Amino acid sequence: MTMQTIGRPTRPDTAAAPAADTAARGLMQSEPLIFELGGWSKTGVDLPDVGAGAADDLGDLVRAAPIGLPGLSEPETLRHYVRLSQKNHAIDLALYPLGSCTMKHNPRLNEKVARLPGFADIHPLQPQSSVQGAIELMDRLAHWLKTLTGMPAVALSPKAGAHGELCGLLAIRAAHEARGDVRSRVLVPTSAHGTNPATAAFAGYTVQEIAQTPDGRVDLADLEAKLGPDVAAIMVTNPNTCGLFERDVVEIARLTHAAGAYFYCDGANFNAIVGKVRPGDLGIDAMHINLHKTFSTPHGGGGPGAGPVVLSAALAPFAPEPWVVHDQNGYRLVEGREGPAAQASGRLCAFHGQMGMFVRAYAYMLSHGSDGLRQVAEDAVLNANYIKARLSDLMSAPFPDGPCMHEALFDDSWLEGTGVTTLDFAKAMIDEGFHPMTMYFPLVVRGAMLIEPTETESKAELDRFCDTLRGLARQALSARNDPEALQRFKAAPVAAPLRRLDETQAARKPRLKWTPPAAPLPLAAE
């Protein structure tokens, strides 16, 4: 049977397209909030009846006023959230070059195994005899983390990188206090992640900044001048936020230890050196590992993360509870301050940490193995240097000499006189189908553009990215004497679900939740 085509035009009409009648554009639907969609008595679940008087024992403990929450049927729910999902960029769509964030591929095997009932459906306070596999997995994950970092101990419970920083500083504080040594200052380089000074302040220390050398590293002379008997720790990211390895790391550790302080390393960039260099061989006392970066647990639109902290022998006794121990009776979580955990620095959260992330990270480690993890670091560094090499003739790198690590840093000096800013350039990338790089961070570089490709990009995708950026860079440079070219950057993005958003208005008159229109809400059906 052949298709009847009479009356069905097979060539496109060349007439200009009129604007659509609705707010939708092609497959991109305009989607209201659930509060504008849902019915006040509607529900997408079928639950059994319980009969009248089910809560009559509770008297006036029962809610008097309606909550004010709409419901949707299952098909409406699917459609609502799938439509919303289509307004997001994602790693699975294209390169996501956010420097310092490590947006790499998330293997789906890890999602599958994390959902096995033996991991997903176990209660944190079940008898330990009924969760031996879970505690064994924590022990094995710990073994991999300790071996990869060359450190003797690891605290698994911190729930994210910044939580890990807190864990490390609390252990440092406890270690000092245990020998009657009261210290008040923490030194942090100017290029540090904002979490470092915030954590130090949160942990009760005053923060002092360490200067940076012209080649983007910690200024040793300044460090030495600021170290003193009241310094508890230094917090240094290595590789640092300029994407550079701290060449003097061993000397930094020596100076720090000579002053009686501890060396905390922000391990956000561990993915650049995993399998190549072990922090334990560099004199580091504590380092958090973002499982959602180096070990690829999904970022999920802003968490959950996981931030286990590896600790040196000096700090190990001061790890927070719980601890995993393994003996002839099997695996055990030590949940209080007893036995080896007698000097523990305190509980950081309820239960035992981000088990769902542990499963994913462990599956990732087993998949890569010791050889694959080393290759991860090499390919991540190779990809970043390739981007740096391909773009450096058009865009300016503040630290052009020598290789970078896993991310390539540019500044905005090449845009001078064009009228195009880092923000404009980033927004123009959106129109070309790419997520922008990290902008205006680190703070020590003007108009910073920090590009981290990760190891999971193919050469073809890297080339497509570099070709796109080269094209944009040429246009940006032409904007010096081409108002139309400039306009393209100022207007960008024009092809995204929305144009640029007014962040000033959002902050000046905060609207932080949906509020009903003037008419009162109808009561929910009983």
Please report, as residue ranges, which positions from 422 to 481 form the binding site for other proteins (by CB under 8 A): 426-427, 430, 435-436, 441, 455-459, 461
- Does 247 sit near other proteins (CB under 8 A)? yes
Q: Which of 335, 343, 396, 480 binds other proteins (CB under 8 A)?
A: 335
Q: Which residues pair with 235 in a beta bridge?
A: 264
Q: What is the 3-state secondary structure (H, E, C) of 136-164?
A: HHHHHHHHHHHHHHCCCEEECCCCCHHHH
**Residue 178 or 417: which CB sits closer to other proteins?**
178
Q: What one-character DSSP code corresponds to residue 98?
A: B
Please, which of residues 207-236 interact with other proteins by CB under 8 A?
A: 207
Minimum Å gap between C-beta 481 and other proteins is: 25
> Is 24 near other proteins (CB under 8 A)?
no
Q: How far is CA 295 from CA 286, 362, 417, 455, 479, in A?
A: 18, 8, 42, 12, 42
Only segment of 4-12, 44-52, 470-478, 481-489 that touches other proteins (CB under 8 A): 44-52
3-state secondary structure 401-446: CCCCCCCEEECCHHHCCCCCCHHHHHHHHHHCCCCCCEECCCCCCC
Query: Does 71 participate in binding other proteins (rule CB under 8 A)?
Result: yes
User: Of the candidates 29, 77, 343, 396, which one interacts with other proteins according to CB under 8 A?
Assistant: 77
Residues 147-206 that bind other proteins (CB under 8 A): 147-148, 159-163, 165-166, 170, 173, 193-195, 197-204, 206
Between 229 and 522, CB nearer to other proteins: 522
Task: State the nearest-atom distance from the C-beta of 16 to other proteins, in Å.
Answer: 20
Instruction: Look up residue 523 and give its two tokens.
Output: 């009561």
Least distance between other proteins and beta carbon 179 (Å): 17
* Residue reference for tokens 């800013």: 421
Q: How far is the CB of 450 from other proteins (least distance, A)?
A: 12
- Give the interface size with other proteins as a residue count (CB under 8 A): 206
Decide: is 357 part of the binding site for other proteins (CB under 8 A).
yes
Half-sphere exposure of 267 (CA within 13 A, CB side): 38
Question: Which one, 147 or 213, has the nearer CB to other proteins?
Answer: 147
Distance CA 404, CA 338 (A): 46
Tracing tokens 């550079």 back to the chain, one arrives at 244
Taking the complex as a whole, how short is the minimal distance between the CB of residue 471 and other proteins, in angstroms? 18
Gap between the Cα atoms of 396 and 404, Å rounded: 14
Query: What is the residue type of 508?
Result: R
Of residues 140 and 480, the one with the C-beta less far from other proteins: 140
Q: Which of 218, 361, 363, 469 binds other proteins (CB under 8 A)?
A: 363
**522 interacts with other proteins by CB under 8 A:** no
Which is closer to other proteins, CB of 257 or CB of 480? 257
324, β-bridge pairs? 333
CA neighbor of 491 nearest in space, from 434, 411, 420: 420
Figure out which of the listed residues 24, 88, 313, 467 binds other proteins, where binding follows CB under 8 A. Answer: 88
Among 152, 226, 314, 356, binds other proteins (CB under 8 A): 356
Query: Measured between alpha carbons, how far is 352 from 159 in angstroms, rounded to an integer?
Result: 10
Site for other proteins in 111-150 (CB under 8 A): 111-113, 115-127, 129-134, 136-137, 144, 147-148
In contact, 297 and 168? CB cutoff 8 Å: no
Spatial distance between the Cα atoms of 210 and 444, rounded to a whole number of angstroms:
12
- Looking at the Cβ atoms of 89 and 480, the one nearer to other proteins is 89
Identify which range of 5-13, 222-230, 257-265, 361-369 contacts other proteins by CB under 8 A: 361-369
**How far is it, in rounded angstroms, from Cα 266 to Cα 290?**
9
301-330 mask for other proteins (x: CB under 8 A)?
A: xxxxxx-------------x----------
Q: Which helix (H) or strand (E) holds 496?
A: none
Please classify residue 418 by burial: count the beta carbons closer than 10 Å to its beta carbon, then call 0-12 exposed, 13-18 middle and 19+ buried: buried
Looking at beta carbons only, is 13 or 60 nearer to other proteins? 60
Q: Which two tokens stand for residue 439?
A: 């902008």
Closest CB 80 distance from other proteins, rounded Å: 7
Residue 40 interacts with other proteins (CB under 8 A): yes or no: yes
